[in-house]
């Protein structure tokens, strides 16, 4: 990620444009320009060799107007406060787009989790949880997995929080292991949501899924699941990548083999061979010959430098913030269609919401019910965004932002300004 790029500026620019398009007065949305709360913590960890290493961590709450703050916890060596602020703001919008009763938040620790032992990661997670304790709670702010974290990390957060409370509090995090109150279908939910959104989009355009070519940047939880489900629906996954690089096969990659290879910790795509597939770089993947490009890695991947090289006519944002505002303008000029992150990757937080509801009610839904409800919510959100987009003759990003900002500012207006 370049040092000059500020994702929070990206958020502000798009948010203000959408607010103006909605005809809102500055008073209506001024409070959305900064997070409600920001906490920075220094997290000491006793490493396996006896050294004490201090990691920088954050938790940002952007908005609680529509309910408790909700959003993931990211472990990545390059995170900074502006990125976490942007990710928190995008969570407010995302929860509003799919109309679930949450605001937005996000947390992060500046660490490369692949460099830590499991023991060190556990200690880091427990201490970080203790340090953000005043901010979190099942009615306040509910973390979940994001880049670099997983169900195991959520389990440690749940246990740590519960130890402080003196009783078990499953609803403090979502994306937990099943055995301690996690939800069926949560791990696949973001990728499944991406698949539903692609399906709805193609349906609107009268394009069959069968044979539609897809290139996936990032074969983590989101990209890996989406690739698998899209391939099950008949799409041809022509390219896939991880941080080490990608594979390209115009006839279609065998996705299950790739997902199986990457499921072992430490395995990389650059070490993997498949008949008919050649190795490409991530830059080459973005520019490859495909119908749909699915960036599902980090923010700031499609930039003013590479946007013009994109051949895909449809970009579906599995990652949060993969396209800069400048690149967005270039793509629009080129007639490319972007299905924005706050809609495309909202499936994860939707099933997080189901998990939280199940925890509060102390009951478990079966997987079929979860996937059916997820599908219903994703289709409803897609239709609402589509309606806002077409009625304002604008991009789907603007459409999604208008739906979200309309809902958040309405909640703010009804509640009023305290005191
Ligand atoms: N980290 C995911 C996201 O960016 C999930 C958040 C959640 O489930 O709370 O949407």
Residue 148's CATH number:
3.40.50.10860
Q: Would you say 374 and 193 are in contact if contact means Cβ atoms under 8 Å apart?
A: yes
Residue 280 included in any domain:
yes
Alpha-carbon span 397 to 402, nearest angstrom: 8
Instruction: Assess whether the C-beta atom of 74 lies below 6 angstroms from ligand 1.
Output: no
**Averaged pLDDT, 19-41:** 97
- On whether both 133 and 235 belong to a single domain, the answer is no
Instruction: Assess whether the C-beta atom of 300 lies below 6 angstroms from ligand 1.
Output: no
Domain that includes residue 204, residue range: 189-344
3-class DSSP assignment, residue 327 = helix
Q: What is the pLDDT of residues 115-127, one digit of tens each?
A: 999 999 999 999 9
- On whether both 196 and 335 belong to a single domain, the answer is yes
Give kind and range of the element (H or E) at residue 115. Answer: none
- On whether both 158 and 220 belong to a single domain, the answer is no
What's the 144 CA to ligand 1 centre distance in angstroms? 6
- On whether both 109 and 236 belong to a single domain, the answer is no
**Averaged pLDDT, 19-28:** 97
Q: Which residue's alpha carbon is at the smallest distance from atom 9 of ligand 1?
A: 71
Residue 399 included in any domain:
no
Residue where a domain terminates, one of 320, 344, 368: 344
Q: What is the pLDDT of residues 57-95, one digit of tens each?
A: 999 999 999 999 999 999 999 999 999 999 999 999 999
Residue 390 included in any domain:
no
DSSP state of 4: S
The secondary structure of 147-158 as a DSSP string is: TT--HHHHHHHH
Residue 401 included in any domain:
no
Residues annotated as catalytic are 106
- On whether both 201 and 329 belong to a single domain, the answer is yes
Q: CA distances (Å), 408 to each of 42, 92, 94, 164, 401, in order?
A: 32, 8, 11, 33, 10
- On whether both 103 and 236 belong to a single domain, the answer is no
Among 348, 357, 358, 374, which residue has the most ligand 1 atoms within 8 Å of its CB, making it the best to mutate? 348
- On whether both 255 and 113 belong to a single domain, the answer is no
pLDDT of residue 2: 43
- On whether both 205 and 322 belong to a single domain, the answer is yes
Q: What is the pLDDT of residues 370-404, one digit of tens each?
A: 999 999 999 999 999 999 999 999 999 999 999 99
What's the 115 CA to ligand 1 centre distance in angstroms? 24
- On whether both 126 and 51 belong to a single domain, the answer is yes
Q: Would you say 128 and 153 are in contact if contact means Cβ atoms under 8 Å apart?
A: no
Residue 56 included in any domain:
yes
How many independent structural domains does the chain possess? Answer: 2
Instruction: Assess whether the C-beta atom of 349 lies below 6 angstroms from ligand 1.
Output: yes
Residue 229 included in any domain:
yes
pLDDT of residue 333: 97
Residue 265's CATH number:
3.40.50.720
- Which of 190, 241, 202, 189 is closest to 339 using CA atoms? 202
What's the 221 CA to ligand 1 centre distance in angstroms? 12
Residue where a domain terminates, one of 325, 344, 363: 344
Q: Give the residues across from 60 on adjacent strands.
A: 38, 106
- On whether both 260 and 340 belong to a single domain, the answer is yes
Residue 245 included in any domain:
yes
Which atom of ligand 1 is closest in space to residue 90's alpha carbon?
4
pLDDT of residue 3: 45
- On whether both 196 and 330 belong to a single domain, the answer is yes
The whole model's pTM is what? 0.97
Alpha-carbon span 319 to 222, nearest angstrom: 8
pLDDT of residue 265: 82
Which atom of ligand 1 is closest in space to residue 70's alpha carbon?
9
Instruction: Assess whether the C-beta atom of 70 lies below 6 angstroms from ligand 1.
Output: yes
What's the 71 CA to ligand 1 centre distance in angstroms? 5
Q: Would you say 158 and 169 are in contact if contact means Cβ atoms under 8 Å apart?
A: yes
DSSP state of 310: -
Residue where a domain terminates, one of 284, 317, 344: 344
- On whether both 126 and 198 belong to a single domain, the answer is no
- Residue 240 burial (C-beta neighbours within 10 Å; 0-12, 13-18, 19+): buried
User: Can you tell me which residue has the tokens 């901010």?
Assistant: 135
pLDDT of residue 4: 63
Residue 408 included in any domain:
no
Average pLDDT of the chain to the nearest whole number: 97
């Amino acid at each position: 990620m370049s040092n000059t790029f500020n994702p929070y500026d990206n958020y502000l620019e798009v948010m203000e444009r959408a607010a103006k398009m909605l005809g809102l007065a500055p008073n209506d949305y001024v409070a959305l320009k900064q997070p409600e709360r920001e906490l920075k913590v220094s997290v000491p960890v006793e490493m396996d060799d006896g050294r004490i290493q201090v990691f920088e961590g954050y938790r940002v709450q952007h908005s609680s107007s529509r309910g408790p703050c909700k959003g993931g916890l990211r472990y990545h060596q390059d995170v900074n406060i502006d990125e976490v602020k942007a990710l928190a703001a995008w969570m407010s919008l995302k929860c509003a787009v799919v109309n679930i009763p949450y605001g937005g938040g996000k947390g992060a620790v500046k660490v490369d989790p692949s460099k830590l032992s499991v023991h060190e990661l556990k200690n880091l997670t427990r201490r970080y949880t203790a340090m953000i304790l005043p901010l979190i709670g099942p009615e306040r702010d509910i973390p979940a997995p994001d880049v670099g974290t997983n169900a195991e990390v959520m389990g440690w957060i749940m246990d740590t929080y519960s130890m402080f409370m003196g009783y078990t509090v499953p609803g403090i995090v979502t994306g937990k292991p099943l055995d301690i109150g996690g939800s069926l279908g949560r791990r696949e939910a973001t990728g499944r949501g991406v698949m539903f959104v692609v399906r709805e989009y193609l349906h609107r355009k009268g394009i069959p899924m069968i044979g539609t070519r897809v290139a996936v940047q990032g074969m983590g939880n989101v990209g890996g699941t989406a690739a698998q489900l899209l391939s099950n629906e008949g799409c041809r996954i022509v390219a896939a990548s991880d941080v080490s690089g990608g594979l390209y096969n115009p006839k279609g990659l065998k996705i299950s083999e790739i997902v199986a290879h990457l499921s072992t910790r430490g395995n990389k795509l650059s070490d993997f061979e498949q008949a008919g597939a050649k190795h490409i770089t991530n830059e080459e993947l973005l520019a490859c010959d495909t119908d749909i490009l699915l960036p599902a890695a980090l923010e700031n991947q499609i930039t003013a430098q590479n946007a013009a090289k994109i051949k895909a006519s449809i970009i579906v944002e599995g990652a949060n913030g993969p396209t800069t505002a400048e690149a967005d303008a270039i793509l629009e000029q080129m007639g490319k269609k972007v299905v924005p992150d706050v809609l495309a990757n909202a499936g994860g937080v939707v099933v997080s919401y189901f998990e939280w509801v199940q925890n509060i009610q102390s009951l478990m839904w079966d997987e079929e019910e979860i996937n059916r409800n997820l599908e219903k919510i994703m289709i409803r959100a897609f239709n609402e965004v589509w309606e806002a987009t077409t009625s304002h003759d604008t991009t789907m990003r603007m459409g999604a932002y208008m739906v979200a900002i309309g809902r958040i500012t309405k909640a703010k207006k009804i509640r009023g300004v305290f005191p």
